[in-house]
Structure 1
Amino acid sequence: MTANSREAQLSAAFVKLADTLVTDFDVVDLLHWLVEECTRILDTEAGGLLLVDAVGELQLIASTSEEAQLVEVLQLAAGEGPCLDCFHTGTAVTVGDMQDNAGKWPKFSAEAIRQGFFSVHATPLRLRGQIIGTMNLFSTHTGELNPADIAVAQALADVATIGILQERTIKSSSIITAQLQHALDSRILIEQAKGVLAATSGMTMNDAFVAIRAHARNNNLTLAKVADGVIARTLDVSTSTSTSTTTSTTTTSK
């Protein structure tokens, strides 16, 4: 990627974030966009994003591929991995070679390597002292992200975090907790809807999400609303196509 094209992509990403955060926005869609955009700009192959729930546990809310999702789920189930270290410390964690760190996170490292990922970078979603989750970028080759890339990932994550926590003015922590819980509940609906589409139309799970997202964007609906319609069999999204070339390319290329 040339310096000029990278600069253009970064400018476009921050403009998109700014445009999104001045209006009502779908938190789940924003986080999917964030992890997809960081994966693309930073030349990594997959990504996943986790948010903390009402009881302080991390839950997967966005991923660019089923492979990344499997690693994230295993990381949580095993109680180990760079994203958990990142969340507990509030600082980024970069792993240039998973094989060299197999002893530190044996279950996570084994599953990541089995899925074809040999390096990972975890970025905290934080605002001052509050950490609400982590974003994790996976590569199929060894090598740490360079300092410039780490700064880009953190900057985009910081802006998105401000957007999630903003309420135009400061709102109570109970409202913030409710918003995050709503996002996590929406993710469950979306996963169920993806399964319905995969079973009834023969789509892959990735293509099912692309169809749900395209229908939501084309009809100005939230992802949760569309997912609910798919589960109830009141919406047919199997023919929906994305209005965003970047989104569909990023999602389906994984």
Structure 2
Amino acid sequence: MTLPSLFLSHGAPTLPLTETPARTFLAGLGTQLPRPKAILVISAHWETEGPAVNAVAVNETIHDFHGFPRPLYAMRYPAPGAAELAGRVAALLRASGMDCDIDTRRGLDHGAWVPLLLMYPDADIPVLQLSVQPHLGAAHHLRVGRALQALQDDGVLIIGSGSMTHDLSEFRGHGLDDPAPAWVTGFADWCHDALTSGRTDDLLNYRELAPFARKNHPSEEHFLPLFGALGAAGTDAVAERLHASATFAILRMDVYAFKAAGASSRDAAQGAAVA
């Protein structure tokens, strides 16, 4: 079973508590996909000097945020870990010329458990996380994803969890359903065209080529998981947007599926569509 890789915009930690189009879409996405044997999440919220993967028996739920509603801190996502798979992830990265540490203590940060709580609420699928290295840039993360492509043939769902746009300095003053400003939609539209046109080189140079790139991503950690997911589908990856919406005006919540050329991501997603 070969699964698509996914890029998910996980939004604010309160996503499970708010009625939004993105929440509704993610809550249905898990049932639209073939059930994975395990899930590997490349999370924007775990930054390390070099790649690192976690290997635990049961994942702790990390509440890596402050000042949010009390019910959010009561949420738990005790998915089993995947220590054996973590070893394989490390071996694949090392075989591609990259080192990879194995962390035997870390659980799941909200970049992983927030979307997974909606997609797979029973927390009964083994989950492991892979870190990002913002100082190494987009090409490095594309290389990381390509090194892990073989995992998809074994039923592993590879998810890059970040955000299509992420300038939190503009967060205050916006309502949950406010429309996105032009600098947000302009960037997201450029990315959509580049992804669906197969312009990988342009994407790798997005900070110079995309409109409002540095405005939407003052730092890169929330965009880099996209390159991991894109790379995991191989050098001939085909991109399909499954969902597009915005929350609080400035957070685009786009979701993309990536498959190797010749395989339809929409078939794999069994009809998931833009909401």
> Normalising TM by the smaller chain, what interval?
0.3 to 0.5
In terms of fraction of residues, the more helix-rich structure is: 1
TM (norm. structure 2) is 0.32
Compare relative contact order (CA 8 Å, sep 6+) and give the higher one, 1 or 2. Answer: 2
TM (norm. structure 1) is 0.34
In terms of fraction of residues, the more strand-rich structure is: 2
